[in-house]
Amino acid sequence: MTVQPLSATITRNGHTIHYRDSGPSETAAAQDVPVILVHGMGGDNHTWDRFARSVRARGRRVLAMDLRGHGRSARAASYLFAEFGDDILDLCEDLGFDRVDLVGHSLGGHAASLVAQQRPGLVRRLVLEEAPLPLRPGDPIPAFGGGMPSLVEMWHATTSMVRSPRAVWAFDRSMTASMLAQFHRPHPQWWERLPDIEAKTLILRGGPTGMVDPVLLDAAVAAIGDCEVMSFGCGHSIHRDRFRDFEAVVLPFLTAP
């Protein structure tokens, strides 16, 4: 019989974050660490339902969270990148986790990278799926940049609305301008702290129709100590549009010793 994940919340500093937790597995080894799945902008924890079942079937504890302003988590007065990273850290601290694997898509991937920089000892494995890379000082605005959503961004938003209307309905649209502005301006501190990441890192790039700039990607890979890249011939949501390929790459990465 399939056990449904527990729906729960934490409240830190007056802010409530919702998550779903499969709970510890009876077959889990003592050294196993939980896997935390973090969705992208406009999504919610349900984007990971299928993959969460796959990870759980390997005996791992899986948590899928709703970032602030998404799903069943509370809306917030501001939506800074660092605050999304704090949401993940707050969940880990509230549940007493001292070691985790993080899998993040898009905005969730960027938030996960901030956690791996800020708390290197916490993150064992880091998977960044189509996480747009911040600009460095002097970099030109990427093809999908400019302050207004690009065709790539609008296409992903439209298909997400069709496939996951519940997530789009719950999404706090007031964050959109702030998110785009942050992605489209230089973030030198992020680049300076990339070498601080100790986690074995896997970066997944959708391809030419994705949102990962190849020049910035090469620079990021060179700065992270233990990093590999996999490219897929699809768009921004690999785990949605190429699930079997995503699963075939990410599951072995997470289950390797």
Q: What is the pLDDT of residues 18-53, one digit of tens each?
A: 999 998 866 555 458 999 999 999 899 999 999 999
Statement: residue 145 has pLDDT above 90: no
Q: Look at residues 240, 81, 214, 84 and name the one whose alpha carbon lies nearest to residue 155.
A: 240
DSSP 8-state secondary structure symbol assigned to residue 99: S
Statement: residue 56 has pLDDT above 90: yes
Q: Look at residues 183, 88, 84, 83 and name the one whose alpha carbon lies nearest to residue 133.
A: 183
- The C-alpha angle 172, 90, 202, rounded to 5 degrees, equals 85
Statement: residue 2 has pLDDT above 60: no
Indicate the length of the chain as a whole number. 257
Q: What percent of the chain has pLDDT over 70?
A: 86
Residue type, 144: F
pLDDT at 117: 98
Mean pLDDT check: name the lowest of 64-73, 137-146, 239-248. Answer: 137-146
pLDDT at 143: 56
Q: Look at residues 40, 194, 197 and name the one whose alpha carbon lies nearest to residue 116.
A: 197
Q: What is the pLDDT of residues 111-136, one digit of tens each?
A: 999 999 999 999 999 999 999 999 99
What is the rounded CA–CA span in Å between residue 72 and residue 86? 17
Q: What is the pLDDT of residues 173-193, one digit of tens each?
A: 999 899 888 988 999 999 999
The whole-model pTM stands at: 0.90
Structure tokens belonging to residue 144 = 């999908």
Statement: residue 172 has pLDDT above 60: yes
Helices then strands, each counted (H, E), the chain? 10, 8
What is the rounded CA–CA span in Å between residue 244 and residue 166? 24
| Average pLDDT, rounded, for the chain | 88
pLDDT at 26: 64
What is the rounded CA–CA span in Å between residue 69 and residue 77? 9
What is the rounded CA–CA span in Å between residue 15 and residue 13? 6
pLDDT at 146: 37
pLDDT at 170: 78
Distant-in-sequence, close-in-space partners of 240: CB < 8 Å, separation ≥ 6: 47, 163
What is the rounded CA–CA span in Å between residue 61 and residue 37? 11
- Mean pLDDT, residues 200-228 taken together: 94
Identify the H or E element spanning 228: strand 227-231
- Mean pLDDT, residues 97-119 taken together: 97
What is the rounded CA–CA span in Å between residue 92 and residue 27? 22
Identify the CATH assignment for 7-17+32-255 out of 3.40.50.1820, 2.40.30.170, 3.40.50.10330, 1.20.1250.20: 3.40.50.1820
Burial class for 79, CB neighbours closer than 10 Å (0-12, 13-18, 19+): buried
pLDDT at 32: 80
pLDDT at 162: 44
Domain residues of the chain, as ranges?
A: 7-17+32-255
